Structure 1
Amino acid sequence: MDGITQNMDKSLEALKHNFAKVRTGRANANVLADITVDYYGVPTPVTQVAAVKAPEAHLLVVEPWDKALVNAIVKAISASDLGITPSSDGMVVRLPFPAPTEERRRELVKECRELAEQAKISIRNIRRDYNNKLERDEDLSEDDVRREQAKVQKHTDEYVRRVDELLKAKEAEVMEI
């Protein structure tokens, strides 16, 4: 059961990571996690070449340690699919996060639901793989296999419930004005 728990935990962590990247109108440094800049020929995440601060709820300030990277950071953020227009004064990059419209918030909730469904599918796939392994195990009787599969199902139900809880919390955060 340890292997199944580890794999399902990974699915939950992936969901949390994906939820963190959903832009809710609040400044969140996690939206920059997948944006890379060319740092002396090496693609490097912005968060590793700059300090990212949120002085206000709707503003992120990116302060690169090497000031020569300011323009590269602005270009990388502009080229990304964040939908945020960065501004720079040559020293820092400012990212204003406008509050999303009602329609945009509904789209974000839909996106969150899709991410949650992907996590549920992942968890169900783990259950299927584990059940198949149980069925192939020749040391177990049919009754033992059924008992173990019932335990796996309870485990799966618990993780699906956790996904639903995370989704409910994220929906509330997205719909908050």
Structure 2
Amino acid sequence: MTELRLRSRLARLSRHDLALLLRAFGVLLWVRLNLFLHRTPYLRGKIAQLAARAPLDPAPAAADLREVVWSVRNAARFVPVGSCLTQALAGQYLLAARGAETTVRLSMPIAGTDQAPAFRPHAWLMSGRMILLGGTPEELARHRALVEFHPDRPDAGVPVSSIGAPFGTEAPPS
């Protein structure tokens, strides 16, 4: 995208949307830097601190989910190596700041699927059974869950034996 087109698109955003985008960009850069420095426990601790401020809502407002998903997806385009893990952790951080309960799920493609030839772990941001970031329910069905990270348990991930059939069946907020 040319600089002129980018400026034009940014100029059309409301102040609220621009603030969301800039906040997401800053959080994505912060997450990316900490992942690069192998400071995942530090990131998990910061998310847990936000979660500890007040009880997390297991059914957050759709508007909060939509805003954070939109801002993370769009800001990630401008973050070097804005990987699925970077986006999932940034989204979890931003939603924890809004009091929303989410889970970051790490998975691997199931052997025998079109995605399985290489070692390709993947990260998903989930709210209940809804996939917020990471892909579609069809893609999730072709993965085997390895571990989940919850904001209220920063010390370690919770191993997952398998993905339940109904998981990820809800449509993400649009």
Sort the TM-score into its range (normalised by shorter chain): under 0.3
| Greater C-alpha radius of gyration | 1
Structure 1 length-normalised TM: 0.23
Structure 2 length-normalised TM: 0.23
